[in-house]
Structure 1
Amino acid sequence: MTALQTALASYAAYHRDRRNVATHLVGIPMIFLAVVVLLSRPVLDLGGGTLTPAMLLSFAAGLFYLRLDLRFGLVMALLLVGCCMIGLLLAQMATSAWLGWGLGLFVVGWIIQFVGHWFEGRKPAFVDDLKSLLVGPLFVVAELAFMLGLRREVQAAISGPAPH
């Protein structure tokens, strides 16, 4: 198996119940965006350019995704750029609005995640492997690709027992 397939298979082992997968399709993007929003302050002005902690983390995460797989990595990089743009817009709002969006998305996203794991009857993957916090967003992109009939070879490689 490739590194991508190994990472997705390991994550998928914690996500066999379709209800859990469905909650992840909602909760993970909320958490993903929330982290970027919350890290979009402070803003360092570089004389015509801007740099935030979110941009630095997104760059590192983008490299991680690209090393796993070029096609999924490019999708993830585009999503990270989009999240950084949204994060910058929200970071310009009043502190209460910026924090409200960031913390609200984060808390609600995690509540949705834990409901999914209640359905699954299994703890979240990150409890056993912190790397799964990065693999989770990739899992969502992969699941959406599979629903569209794309990347069937990856889907076949990571499938395990039939979902509940």
Structure 2
Amino acid sequence: MKSAVEQLSTYKSVHLNPNNIRTHFVGVPMIIWSAFLMLGTLRSAWQDYQVSVAMVLTLVVLAYYTMLHVRLAIGLVLFIIPVLYTTEMVVHTEHPMLIALAVFVIGWVIQFVGHQYEKAKPAFMDDLNQLLIGPFFLMAELYFMFGWEKELAAEIKPLARDKRRALEAKLRGK
């Protein structure tokens, strides 16, 4: 498994433009929320409870984030629990899948607008695992804004710049 520094520096390498990062603070939560809503419609009875795929995914993803970086995972717990709660409420409305699809599409449009500022393709196009790193990256960026995890930020930034330079050199060479 790649380390948090490796994962975050790869993601950061195509998220250096502040406007792109701002769009991600809107688009990524929308995509996550809509994905949880879609997965929340897939349910099964377990003892006296209804369990959704979203609930199971929450545990798996939070375990992964915890293995990468415990302190960032704590922030992600504080983000994901309200996402899971609100999507559970919407699952029981009349058209949850329609709502999920609308929010999903809008979230992705916002993401691709952000990458127009960046002039770089989204990280997941080269590595699907980067889809899971998006929320992790945003939590790291939030921590950095608050002045937390300064060592992590100091490790990631130069690696991200080097990866970006290598990517740009590769593109110029084609």
Give your verdict on TM over 0.5.
yes
Match of 1:102 in 2: 100
Cα distance in 2 for residues equivalent to 1:29 and 1:105:
10
Residue in structure 1 matched with residue 151 of structure 2 by the alignment: 153
Distance 1:120 1:87 in 2: 31
**Cross-structure match for 1:62:** 62
CA-CA distance at 1:100 after TM superposition:
3.0
Letter of the structure 2 residue corresponding to residue 8 of structure 1: L
1:20 is aligned to 2:20? yes
1:50-129 correspondence runs (5 A): 50-94=50-94, 96=95, 98-129=96-127
Structure (1 or 2) with the larger CA radius of gyration? 2
Cα deviation per residue 1:53-110 (whole Å; 9 max; x = unaligned)? 111111111111010011111222332222211111010001x2x1232112111110
Q: Distance in 1 between matches of 2:82 and 2:106?
A: 21
Post-superposition shift, 1:42? 2.7
Q: Distance in 2 between matches of 1:88 and 1:5?
A: 33
CA distance in 2, matches of 1:120, 1:104: 25
Could you say which structure has the higher helix fraction?
2
Moved more, 115-124 or 42-51: 42-51
Give the aligned residue type for 1:136: G
**Farther-moved stretch of structure 1 (98-107 vs 129-138):** 98-107
Q: RMSD value over aligned CA atoms?
A: 1.4
Amino acid at match of 1:118: Q
Q: Take 2:7 and 2:152, find their aligned partners in 1: how far apart are those partners?
A: 11
Local SS of the residue matching 1:83: helix
- Corresponding residue of 2:164: none
Give the deviation of 1:23 after TM superposition. 0.6
Per mean C-alpha deviation after superposition, the further-off stretch among 151-160 and 41-50 is 41-50
Match of 2:133 among 111, 135, 138: 135
Gaps of 5+ in 1: none
* CA distance in 1: counterparts of 2:47 and 2:82, whole angstroms: 22
Letter in structure 1 aligned against 2:121: K
Aligned letter for 2:130? Answer: S
TM-score (norm 1): 0.91
Q: Distance in 2 between matches of 1:145 and 1:113?
A: 21
Residues in 1 aligned to 2:124 and 2:50: alpha-carbon distance in whole angstroms: 32
Does residue 35 of structure 1 match 2:62?
no
Task: Name whichever of 151-160 and 127-136 sits farther off.
Answer: 151-160
